[in-house]
């Protein structure tokens, strides 16, 4: 038996725990985690605004992928910390759980950085970082290497920043400037995605009144500025910009000594729901007690008014929560004492404070009652919307009961067009959804029947963005797909019953093929989003070209790859065939190029931003033409036309 004593217990000091287990502090070490670093610094500046000081936050993405975050707040204290006997700046940057969020009433009352690891975690995960603090006319400076100070805090005469950051900092009388380079030893990607980060900054601008956000990307010479006087009511209007709202936004606010509750609600004529929740400006992606309280109040408030107004007749059942979701766009935001805030997980994605639920419930119920009484015509339109949704729900339930029997859901009565695989282990099985019977026939012949199933589609499926569930499941091609997957649909969907853990869309490389692919993606996003979230959905990449020189054949999957092969071969006798459809390949070619796991190319479908995805699907596949026309006109120059 090996020796096990006190010497085996490892003690990690300073910021070493962050470097050893970065995922515990920032969620991941991919680009999402990289964005989290910047938002930690931005949220420190937001805290200064919530405390009544900072009026501006500047974020500069420099040409070398370094990032500078500047605010015009009070500046991090630089005097000696009474307990640690070091500058408070160094303490804030090098100690976990150190910051203005932990003081007894002396720090930040409202703060997003609950755990106090923001700046120090950024420091720990940076190849290098420096901070400059302006207080009382002096610039205080400290530089770090992977979280460790290179020297003591010192007063400097000139800024160490360059270019735009230096220009901005020169105009700031007091505040904090932080510049860092993410550590390549930690992060797989060290270059920020501007569009993703822009959304995160815009969110905070909606949530924090009186704070200007200035975002610059010097890599592409891009500038964005955000300031929204209307707050979350403006955010709701932004989320509904490509939809048709049926009433003006409902804005509900109540501020007490210990809690601020803000809610904005606006229904539109679409079939989808967009609801976001925030706690101290942090986007709680998994919801929590504040969102639960909101949903309870919405259901109760609408039911009460529906009965009072006669939208629900005596003897009829109450509307249920699902009836309220169709076409709902809403923002739920709370602000409270950061010391009492409870999140589930370091990355703060779910609010855990149980006492918040009844408070939000009461505030929203009261606000809805007042709005309905004062705006009867708009209340009537909302009632008509949710009652119609309830009728559709009942119709869909009846359709499911009649069209999809229990045995079919469990895969006992599979569709005749499906060529199933022999393997019954979902983790080892894959389903190819193939455009056209011709390509479907080739795929059936060329596949490895042990683990590959084939389901041919006879043509374009129904646009599910514009159809309710009862119509969706009556469409023959979609019904076959639902039964083949075997996990139900919508509210009855059970991810544990999915029969294949790789579901692969394989369509022609032409306009029709891309349209069919988009229709399928719309279906999965709207009715089986769990498949995308689990990482089960893929897009096959068939070759675009076959290059033949004598008896030698090569395949190219892009124009660039084709040009490179032609250049390498330097052969005047080479013939080039452009594949227009999957049916042009025989079974062996289809296997070798597109289905063989040894050399095929698959693109995994994922949802980085559900709200943005909802916006795109609604714009491209919804019934409102002007937004789609504008999108096409704006992006036409980027289209690749094969004519």
Query: Annotated active-site positions, please?
Result: 435, 508, 510, 512
Which is it for strands 56-61 and 67-71: parallel, antiparallel or unpaired?
antiparallel
DSSP per position, 30-95: SHHHHHHHHHHHHHHHHHHHHTT---EEEEEE-TTS-EEEEE-SS----SBPTTT-SBHHHHHHHS
Strands (E), 463-617: 502-506, 537-540, 545-549, 552-556, 575-578, 602-604
Q: Residue 562: CB partners within 8 Å, gap ≥ 6?
A: 544, 545, 547, 556, 576
Listed in order, strand segments (DSSP E) in 507-613 are 537-540, 545-549, 552-556, 575-578, 602-604
Q: Are 288 and 352 in contact (CB under 8 A)?
A: yes
Question: What residues contact residue 67 under an 8 Å CB cut-off, 6+ apart?
Answer: 37, 38, 59, 60, 61, 179, 180, 192
* Whole-angstrom distance, CA of residue 519 vs CA of residue 540: 15
**What Å distances lie between residue 121 and 40, 98, 239, 269, 584, CA to CA?**
9, 11, 32, 44, 55
Q: Centre a 10 Å sphere on the Cβ of residue 257 and count the other Cβ atoms it contains.
A: 6
Compute CA 79 distance to the chain's CA centroid, rounded to the nearest angstrom.
41
Rounded (10°) angle between helices 610-621 and 511-527: 130
């Amino acid at each position: 038996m090996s020796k096990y004593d006190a010497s085996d217990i490892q003690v990690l000091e300073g910021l070493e725990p962050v470097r050893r287990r970065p995922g515990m502090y920032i969620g991941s070490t991919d680009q999402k985690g990289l964005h989290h670093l910047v938002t930690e610094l931005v949220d420190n500046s937001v805290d200064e605004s919530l405390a009544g000081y900072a009026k501006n936050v500047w974020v500069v993405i420099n040409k070398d992928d370094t990032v500078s975050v500047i605010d015009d707040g009070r500046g991090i204290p630089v005097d000696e910390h009474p307990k640690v006997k070091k500058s408070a700046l160094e303490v804030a940057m090098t100690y976990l759980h150190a910051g203005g969020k932990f003081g007894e009433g002396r720090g930040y009352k409202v703060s997003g950085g609950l755990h106090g690891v923001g700046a120090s975690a950024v420091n720990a995960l940076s190849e290098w970082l420096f901070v400059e603090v302006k207080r009382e006319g002096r610039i205080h400076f400290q530089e770090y290497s992977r979280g460790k100070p290179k020297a003591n805090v010192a007063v400097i005469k000139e800024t160490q920043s360059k270019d735009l950051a230096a220009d901005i900092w020169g105009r700031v009388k007091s505040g904090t400037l932080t510049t860092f380079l993410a550590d390549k030893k930690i992060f797989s990607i060290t270059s920020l995605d501007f569009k993703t980060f822009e959304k995160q900054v815009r969110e905070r601008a909606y949530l924090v009144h009186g704070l200007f956000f200035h975002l610059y990307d010097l890599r592409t010479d891009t500038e964005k500025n955000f300031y929204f006087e209307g707050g979350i009511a403006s955010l709701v209007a932004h989320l509904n910009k490509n939809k048709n709202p049926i009433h003006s936004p409902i804005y509900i606010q109540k501020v007490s000594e210990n809690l601020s509750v803000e809610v904005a609600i606006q229904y539109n004529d679409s079939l989808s729901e967009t609801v976001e929740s925030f706690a101290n400006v942090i986007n709680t992606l998994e919801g929590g007690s504040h969102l639960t309280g909101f949903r309870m109040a919405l259901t109760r408030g609408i039911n009460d008014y529906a009965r009072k107004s006669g939208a629900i007749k005596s003897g009829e059942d109450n509307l249920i929560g699902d009836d309220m979701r169709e076409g709902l766009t809403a923002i739920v935001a709370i602000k409270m004492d950061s010391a009492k805030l409870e999140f589930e997980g370091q990355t703060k994605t779910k609010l855990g404070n149980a006492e918040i639920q009844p408070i939000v419930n009461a505030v929203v119920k009261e606000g809805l009652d007042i709005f309905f009484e004062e705006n009867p015509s708009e209340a009537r339109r909302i009632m008509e919307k949710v009652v119609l949704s309830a009728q559709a729900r009942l119709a869909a339930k009846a359709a499911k009961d009649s069209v999809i029997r229990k045995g079919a859901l469990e895969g006992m009565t599979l569709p005749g067009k499906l060529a199933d695989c022999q393997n019954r282990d979902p983790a080892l099985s894959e389903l190819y959804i193939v455009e056209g019977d011709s390509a479907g026939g080739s795929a059936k012949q060329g596949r490895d029947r042990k683990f590959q199933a084939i389901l041919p589609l006879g043509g374009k499926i129904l646009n599910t963005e514009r159809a309710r569930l009862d119509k969706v499941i009556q469409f023959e091609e979609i019904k076959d797909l639902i039964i083949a997957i075997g996990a139900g649909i919508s509210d009855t969907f059970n991810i544990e019953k999915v029969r294949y853990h790789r579901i692969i869309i394989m369509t022609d490389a032409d306009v029709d093929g891309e349209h069919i692919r988009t229709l399928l993606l719309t279906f999965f996003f709207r009715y089986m989003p769990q498949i995308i979230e689990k990482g089960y959905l893929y897009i096959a990449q068939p070759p675009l070209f076959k290059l033949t020189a004598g008896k030698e054949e090569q395949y190219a999957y892009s124009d660039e790859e084709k040009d490179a092969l032609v250049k390498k071969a330097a052969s005047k006798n080479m013939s080039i065939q452009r594949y227009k459809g999957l049916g042009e390949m025989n079974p062996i070619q289809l296997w070798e190029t597109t289905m063989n796991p040894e050399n095929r190319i698959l693109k995994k479908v994922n949802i980085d931003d559900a709200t943005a995805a909802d916006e795109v699907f609604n714009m491209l596949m919804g019934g409102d033409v002007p937004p789609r026309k504008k999108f096409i006109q704006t992006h036409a120059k980027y289209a690749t036309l094969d004519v």
